[in-house]
């Protein structure tokens, strides 16, 4: 895992316990994207914050943008997003691709470490 992925995942995991009860039925993702040239040009010419562009698009899909970062020295951006537990991940990916603002992206589900404890217990039981 690259250093930026580890940093953003750690940031997300640190922030999750502070989120309200309404967030409990959400899945969290580390979204890594390479914006298209047109997307970069629009932001640079418009002088805007890329999070302001991404937020309404993610909200239109039923999600929430929790944080947004621009990679220094690379033409990528990183977001921590949350979507309803019931939403199909493939649908999220294809909806984002259809918006045509990203050349490439990864969508990695992350879970709070507290939830991982239960998961590890289940795995341990199956290994025994």
- The average pLDDT across 112-118 equals 84
What digits encode the pLDDT tens for the residues 16-75?
Answer: 544 444 445 888 999 998 888 888 888 889 887 888 888 998 898 889 999 999 998 888
The domain ranges of the chain are 3-12+32-127
Give pLDDT, residue 9: 53
CA separation, residue 72 to residues 38, 46, 76, 89, 111 (Å): 19, 20, 8, 28, 26
Percent of residues, the chain, with pLDDT higher than 90 = 25
CA separation, residue 18 to residues 24, 29, 41, 44, 55 (Å): 11, 17, 36, 33, 20
pLDDT for residue 118 is more than 70: yes
């Amino acid at each position: 895992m690259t250093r930026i992925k580890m940093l953003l995942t750690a940031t997300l995991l640190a922030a999750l316990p502070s989120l309200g009860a309404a967030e409990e039925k959400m899945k969290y993702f580390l979204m890594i994207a390479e914006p298209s040239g047109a997307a970069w040009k629009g932001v640079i010419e418009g002088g805007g914050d890329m999070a302001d562009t991404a937020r309404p698009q993610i909200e239109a899909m039923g999600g929430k943008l929790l944080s947004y970062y621009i990679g220094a020295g690379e033409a990528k951006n990183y977001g921590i997003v949350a979507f309803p537990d019931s939403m199909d991940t493939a649908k999220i990916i294809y909806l984002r691709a259809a918006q045509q603002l990203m050349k490439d992206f990864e969508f990695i589900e992350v879970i709070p470490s507290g939830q991982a404890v239960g998961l590890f217990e289940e795995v341990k039981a199956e290994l025994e």
